[in-house]
Amino acid sequence: MTKIFIGSIIAILLTAFYLKTSQPESQSEVPILYWVTDPNPIRFEQVDLFYEWLVENNHVNENGKPILELRLDFGGIDNKKMIHGISGVAGDIMDCDTMSFQRLGILADVTEYAEQHNFGLDQTYPALKPVIQRDQKQYSFPCNVNVLSFWSNADTFKKYGMEAPNKNWTVQEFEKMGIEFTKRANKGLEKQEVFFLSPFEGWRLYRLLISLSRSSGQSILNETLTASTLDQGAFSESLKTLYRWTHELHLIPSAAESSSFDVEGGYGGAELSLFIKQKYAMLNIGRWMLIRLREMENPPPVSVSYYPYEKFQNCLISSRNASIYEGSKNKELAALFLAFLASDKYNNNIITTADGGPPNPIYAQGKKYTHPEAWQNEWGAHEVPIEAAHTIAIAEARSPYVSSSIFEKAMSTAYELVMNDLSTPDEAAKEAAKFVDFEIQRNLHDSPSLKERFSEDMKKQTRIDQEKLEDKKPSLEFISNPFHKKYHYDK
């Protein structure tokens, strides 16, 4: 059976390689590059804009045409891209999880290209440094930037005689307002039909749990990214908070309640339909939700609030990143595409289409971004995520010793156990920590090359732990975790 499986994989890869290499490239005057990305229709427009940018910046051949042809490859999930990358048949440019792919050694170091073509770290948000750089080397540039927040339907609040929430609030203020809202919105109903906030699931649940834990002054990893800290109190408190919001205060629908809604999903999912129908007053989402709202004849006015916090206000910043495949024969040409991502032409396209936030922050300062003429219902909302990106945003802590998917699995499992009354928050947090730490040790066993780096990081962690015991400020130069860097710096 194993031989059959391996044979099938090889056959698929050979077929992919044949299809790719048998394209009619001989009919092209210039090299052909492939951009492996998501199947969003806007990508075709962005390719055309890239050609315009190449001509405007004199990247042309003797005929005055662009010096390359860029073809789209809707390459699917990251696992498929990884297999292609390891097998030597990946596209020249890939939208990917930079740190996961970099660990496999399949991404090109673009540091020199970035300096040459002006798409370095100074052209994006400083908070994204841990996302696109490792060991002082740059491996990608953002295609767009996202800061998850709570987006409000102002008409829903107005319907029940309330103002939409401010951008800043503590957990206590969030709960006080939520209790009052649900009381007014469901007055006289036999069962609750309107909720303060949409339910949490998937990667958005994962990021909210991280933010809530950080707001109590803890990360999910220690300072050197060598061990989980899920069992040190903050994660357990976050689980208790979400349980309270769901089962005690009924600000969020339970799984049973959310499944009882009879709506059409459509683009953006059922939750966006329920947001528009005023069943959910707020969504935990990013700026891309506006793509769907702009399809409406009269979209509702919206506003944005940061995640509520306990004592340390924060939010997560993330990005969809483009990297260059190490095996590409056209790295210098591919670098031009990353330069395009930092340009005014590309950033204005992101602003106009609402496909997340612009990767280059200088383009988020004008009225074209903050006050789009055709969408006055959005005025006042756009500034909030960008302000957060410059002030309270922190990138996800990514350990070289365990993948973030392991953390997401551990934390989501703990959440489900608590929500279904199968475990206490403290017990679920302890089991999640055990699971992650076991995976770290397993990875070290399977990858001896990591052991030397791990040993050096553990020496740093020992010194940091000793400094904390002596009530000294930790040595910032020893800290790898972006949360701990900002937390200790701010304190």
pLDDT digit string, tens, across residues 426-453: 999 999 999 999 999 999 999 888 999 9
Confidence (pLDDT) at 262: 57
* CB distance 255 to 415 below 8 Å: no
CB atoms within 10 A of CB 116: 13
| pLDDT tens by residue, 17-39 | 444 444 444 457 899 999 999 99
245: left (phi over 0), alpha (psi -120 to 50) or beta: alpha
Residue type, 74: F
Q: How confident is the model at residue 269 (pLDDT cuts 50, 70, 90)?
A: low
Triad 153, 211, 276: Cα angle to 5°? 15
The count of other CB atoms within 10 Å of the CB of residue 259 is: 11
- Inform me whether the pLDDT recorded for 483 exceeds 50: yes
Contact 376, 354 (CB under 8 A): no
The predicted pLDDT at position 242 comes to 98
Q: Which DSSP string do the residues of 293-336 spell out, in sequence order?
A: HTTSSSPPPEEEEPPPBSSS--EEEEEEEEEEBTT-S-HHHHHH
Using pLDDT thresholds of 50, 70 and 90, give the confidence band for residue 350. Answer: very high
The pLDDT of 253-260, averaged and rounded, is: 89
Residues 316-355 as b or e (16 or more Cβ within 10 Å = b): bbbbbbbbbbbbbebbebbbbbbbbbbbeebbbbbbebbb
What does the pLDDT read at residue 448? 85
Look at residue 95 and give its three-state secondary structure. Answer: strand
Pairwise CA distance, residues 203 & 114, whole Å = 30
Residue 259 has pLDDT above 60, yes or no: yes
Instruction: Quick: pLDDT tens for 41-60.
Output: 999 999 999 999 999 999 99
What is the pLDDT at residue 133?
94
User: Where residue 489 falls among pLDDT bands split at 50, 70, 90?
Assistant: confident
Mean pLDDT of 179-207: 96
Can you point out the beta strands (E) in 443-482?
none
Per-residue confidence (pLDDT) for residue 103, from 0 to 100: 86
pLDDT of residue 235: 98
For position 27, what pLDDT does the model report?
A: 58
Please list, in sequence order, all residues whose beta carbon lies within 8 angstroms of the beta carbon of residue 279, skipping any fewer than 6 positions away: 193, 194, 195, 261
User: Please, what is the angle between helix 425-446 and helix 234-243, to 10°?
Assistant: 130
* Lowest-pLDDT choice from 105-109, 191-195, 419-423, 472-476: 472-476
Of 342 and 135, the structure prediction assigns the larger pLDDT to 342
Mean pLDDT of 257-284: 79
SS3 53: helix
What separation in angstroms does the CA of 219 have from each of 73, 302, 339, 459?
37, 31, 34, 20
The rounded distance, in Å, linking the Cα atoms of 210 and 220 is 7
3-class secondary-structure state, position 66: strand
**Cα separation, 95 vs 77, whole angstroms:** 10
**Cα radius of gyration rounded to whole Å, the chain:** 24
- Measured between alpha carbons, how far is 19 from 377 in angstroms, rounded to an integer? 47
pLDDT at 268 over 60: no
pLDDT attached to residue 60: 96
**Which pLDDT does position 474 carry in this prediction?**
84
**Structure token digits, residue 35:** 């951009």
CA distance 352 to 290: 11
Q: What is the mean pLDDT of the chain?
A: 91
- What are 66's strand-pairing partners? 60
Share of the chain above pLDDT 70, in %: 92
- Please give the pLDDT value at position 265: 40
Q: Are strands 315-324 and 137-138 parallel, antiparallel or unpaired?
A: unpaired
Q: Crossing angle, helix 404-419 and helix 425-446, to 10 degrees? A: 160
Q: Which domains does the chain have, with CATH numbers?
A: 2-146+319-395 (3.40.190.10)
Q: Span 410-438, mean pLDDT?
A: 98
Tell me the average pLDDT across 180-208. 96
- State how far the Cα of 113 lies from the Cα of 79, in Å rounded to an integer: 27
pLDDT tens across 376-387, in order? 999 999 999 999
Higher-pLDDT residue of 486 and 22 is 486
Q: Are 244 and 273 in contact (CB under 8 A)?
A: no
For 316, the token pair is 């997560």
